[in-house]
Amino acid sequence: MTAPAIELKGISKAFGPVQANKDISISVQPGTIHGIIGENGAGKSTLMSILYGFYKADRGEIWINGNKTEIPDSQAAIAAGIGMVFQHFKLVENFTVLENVILGAEDGGLLRPSLAKARKALKALAAEYELNVDPDARIDEIGVGMQQRVEILKALYRQADILILDEPTGVLTPSEADQLFRILDRLRSEGKTILLITHKMREIMEYTDTVSVMRRGQMTATVKTKDSSPEELAELMVGRKVLLRVDKVPAQPGAPILEIEGLRVVDDAGVERVKGIDLTVRAGEILGIAGVAGNGQSELMEVLGGMTVGTGSVRLHGNPLPLSGLGADGRSRRAAHIGHVPEDRQSEGLIMDFHAWENVAFGYHRSPEYQKGLLMDNAAVRADTEAKMAKFDVRPPDPWLAAKNFSGGNQQKIVVAREIERNPDLLLIGQPTRGVDIGAIEFIHKQIVALRDQGKAILLVSVELEEILSLSDRVAVMFDGQIMGERPADQTDEKALGLMMAGVAGEAA
Amino acid sequence: MEKMPKWADVVLIPLISLLLAAALSALVILGIGEDPIEAVKTMITGALGSTYGWGYTLYYATNFLFTGLAVSVAYHAGLFNIGGEGQAMLGGLGVALICLFIPWPHWSIALIVAAIAAGLFGAAWAAIPAYLQAKRGSHVVITTIMFNFIAFSVLNYMLVNVLKPQGAMDPATARFPEAIHLPSLHEILLPLGINFSKSAPANVSLLVAIAACFVVWLLIWRTWLGHEIRAFGKSESGARYAGMSPLKITMIAMLISGALCGMMAINNVMGEAERLVLNSTEGAGFIGIAVALMGRNHPFGVFLAALLFGFLYQGGAELALWSSIPRELIVVIQALVILFTGALDNMVRMPLEKLFIAVRKEKA
Amino acid sequence: MDFLTLVQVLDSTVRLSTPLLLACLAGLFSERAGIFDIGLEGKMLIAAFFSAAVAALTGNVWLGLLSGIASSLVLAGLHGLASITFRGNQLISGVAINFLAAGITVLIAQDWFQQGGRTPSLIGGGRFAPVELPFAIGASEAEAAGRPLSQLLAEASPLQQVYSELISGHSILVYLSFLAVPLTAWVLFGTRFGLRLRAVGENPAAVDTAGISVVGLRFAAVGICGVLCGIAGAYLATALQAGFVKEMTAGRGFIALAALIFAKWRPWHALSACLLFGLLQALALRFQSINIAGVSVPVQLMEALPYILTVVILAGFVGKAVPPKAGGEPYVKER
Q: Among A326, A362, A401, pick the best mutation site for testing chain B contact (most B Cβ within 10 A).
A: A362
Q: How many CB pairs under 8 A join A and C?
A: 78
pLDDT of residue A242: 53
The C-alpha atoms of residue A481 and residue A275 are separated, in whole angstroms, by 5
**Least CA distance to B233: which residue of chain A?**
A351
Amino acid in position C309: L
Under a CB-based contact definition with an 8 Å cutoff, are residues A407 and A324 in contact? no
For residue B299, cis peptide bond before it (omega within 30 degrees of 0): no
Alpha helices in chain B (DSSP H): 6-7, 13-31, 36-48, 51-76, 84-101, 107-131, 140-157, 185-189, 205-222, 224-234, 236-241, 246-263, 265, 284-294, 299-322, 328-338, 345-363
pLDDT of residue A235: 77
Residue of B234, B242, B357 lying closest to A330 (CB–CB):
B242
The C-alpha atoms of residue A154 and residue A160 are separated, in whole angstroms, by 9
pLDDT of residue A359: 97
Contacts of B132 in chain C (CB under 8 A): 311, 314-315
- A239 pLDDT band, cuts 50/70/90, is low
Asked if the structure places residue B30 within a domain, the reply is: no
Radius of gyration of chain B (CA): 21
Asked if the structure places residue C26 within a domain, the reply is: yes
Asked if the structure places residue B344 within a domain, the reply is: yes
Asked if the structure places residue C332 within a domain, the reply is: no
Q: How many domains does chain C have?
A: 1
| DSSP letter for each residue of C225-275 | HHHHHHHHHHHIIIIISSS--TTTTTTHHHHHHHHHHHTTT-HHHHHHHHH
Point out which residues pair with A96 in neighbouring strands.
Answer: A138
Q: Which residues of B touch A (CB under 8 A)?
A: 1-3, 218, 222-224, 227-228, 230-231, 234-235, 237-238, 240-245, 357
pTM higher than 0.95: no
Domain span holding position B193: 46-348
On the question of pLDDT at A244 being above 80, the answer is: no
CATH number of the domain to which C279 belongs: 1.10.3470
**Least CA distance to A402: which residue of chain B?**
B2
Instruction: Check residue A347 and report its DSSP letter.
Output: I
Asked if the structure places residue B70 within a domain, the reply is: yes
Alpha helices in A190-226 (DSSP H): 201-207
pLDDT of residue C318: 66
The C-alpha atoms of residue A215 and residue C265 are separated, in whole angstroms, by 48
Question: How would you list the strands of the sheet with A67-68, edge to edge?
Answer: A18-28, A6-15, A59-64, A67-68
pLDDT of residue C127: 93
Domain span holding position C190: 3-127+142-314
Q: What is the mean pLDDT of residues A294-316?
A: 94
Q: What is the mean pLDDT of residues C18-46?
A: 97
Farthest CA pair distance, chain C: 76
- Cβ of B234 within 8 Å of Cβ of A354? The answer is yes
Contacts of C207 in chain A (CB under 8 A): 103-104
Per-residue burial over A90-124, b if 16 or more Cβ lie within 10 Å, else e, is bbbebbbbbbbbbbbbbeeeebeebbeebeebbee
The C-alpha atoms of residue A322 and residue C293 are separated, in whole angstroms, by 51
The C-alpha atoms of residue C68 and residue C234 are separated, in whole angstroms, by 6
Classify domain A256-337+423-501 by CATH number. 3.40.50.300
The C-alpha atoms of residue A431 and residue A459 are separated, in whole angstroms, by 11
Asked if the structure places residue B248 within a domain, the reply is: yes
Q: Which chains touch B (3 or more CB pairs under 8 A)?
A: A, C
The C-alpha atoms of residue B167 and residue B179 are separated, in whole angstroms, by 24
Pairing mode, if any, of strands A218-224 and A474-479?
Answer: unpaired
Asked if the structure places residue C335 within a domain, the reply is: no
On the question of pLDDT at A508 being above 50, the answer is: no
Q: How many CB pairs under 8 A join A and B?
A: 74
The C-alpha atoms of residue A181 and residue A169 are separated, in whole angstroms, by 10
Q: Is the pLDDT higher at C320 or at A508? A: C320
Asked if the structure places residue B125 within a domain, the reply is: yes
Q: Is the pLDDT higher at B188 or at A465? A: B188
CA angle A157, A162, A163 (to 5 degrees): 75
Asked if the structure places residue B241 within a domain, the reply is: yes
Residue of B28, B82, B156 lying closest to C95 (CB–CB):
B82
Instruction: Check residue A377 and report its DSSP letter.
Output: -
- Cβ of B347 within 8 Å of Cβ of C92? The answer is no
Under a CB-based contact definition with an 8 Å cutoff, are residues B261 and B66 in contact? yes
pLDDT of residue A463: 81
Point out which residues pair with A110 in neighbouring strands.
Answer: C191
Determine the distance from the C-alpha atom of residue C245 to the mean position of all C-alpha atoms in its chain, rounded to a whole number.
Answer: 17
Mean pLDDT of all residues belonging to chain A = 90
Percentage of chain C exceeding pLDDT 70: 98
Q: What is the mean pLDDT of residues C176-203?
A: 97
Under a CB-based contact definition with an 8 Å cutoff, are residues C37 and C76 in contact? no
Identify the CATH class of A6-238. alpha beta
Pairing mode, if any, of strands A33-38 and A59-64?
Answer: unpaired
Asked if the structure places residue C164 within a domain, the reply is: yes
CATH number of the domain to which B260 belongs: 1.10.3470
The C-alpha atoms of residue C38 and residue B145 are separated, in whole angstroms, by 10
Per-residue pLDDT of chain B (364 residues; tens, 9 = 90+): 567 788 888 889 889 999 999 999 999 999 988 999 999 999 999 999 999 999 999 999 999 999 999 999 999 999 999 999 999 999 999 999 999 999 999 999 999 999 999 999 999 999 999 999 999 888 899 899 999 999 999 999 999 999 999 888 889 999 999 999 999 999 999 999 888 999 899 999 999 999 999 999 999 999 999 999 999 999 999 999 999 999 999 999 999 999 999 999 999 999 999 999 999 999 999 999 999 999 999 999 999 999 999 999 999 999 999 988 999 999 999 999 999 988 998 999 889 888 888 888 788 7
- Cβ of C211 within 8 Å of Cβ of A95? The answer is no
Q: Interface pTM (ipTM) of the complex?
A: 0.92
Asked if the structure places residue B280 within a domain, the reply is: yes
Under a CB-based contact definition with an 8 Å cutoff, are residues A489 and A469 in contact? yes
CA dihedral A181, A186, A191, A193 (to 10 degrees): -10
The C-alpha atoms of residue C15 and residue B168 are separated, in whole angstroms, by 35
Asked if the structure places residue B362 within a domain, the reply is: no
On the question of pLDDT at C259 being above 50, the answer is: yes
The C-alpha atoms of residue C335 and residue C319 are separated, in whole angstroms, by 37
- C334 pLDDT band, cuts 50/70/90, is low
Under a CB-based contact definition with an 8 Å cutoff, are residues C224 and C306 in contact? no
Amino acid in position A105: A
- Cβ of B339 within 8 Å of Cβ of C310? The answer is no
Under a CB-based contact definition with an 8 Å cutoff, are residues B231 and B238 in contact? yes
Residue of A331, A363, A374 lying closest to B223 (CB–CB):
A374
Under a CB-based contact definition with an 8 Å cutoff, are residues B22 and B295 in contact? no
pLDDT of residue B105: 92
Point out which residues pair with A24 in neighbouring strands.
Answer: A11
Q: How many domains does chain B have?
A: 1
Under a CB-based contact definition with an 8 Å cutoff, are residues C324 and C202 in contact? yes
The C-alpha atoms of residue C14 and residue A365 are separated, in whole angstroms, by 58
Domain extents in chain A: 6-238, 256-337+423-501
pLDDT of residue A245: 62
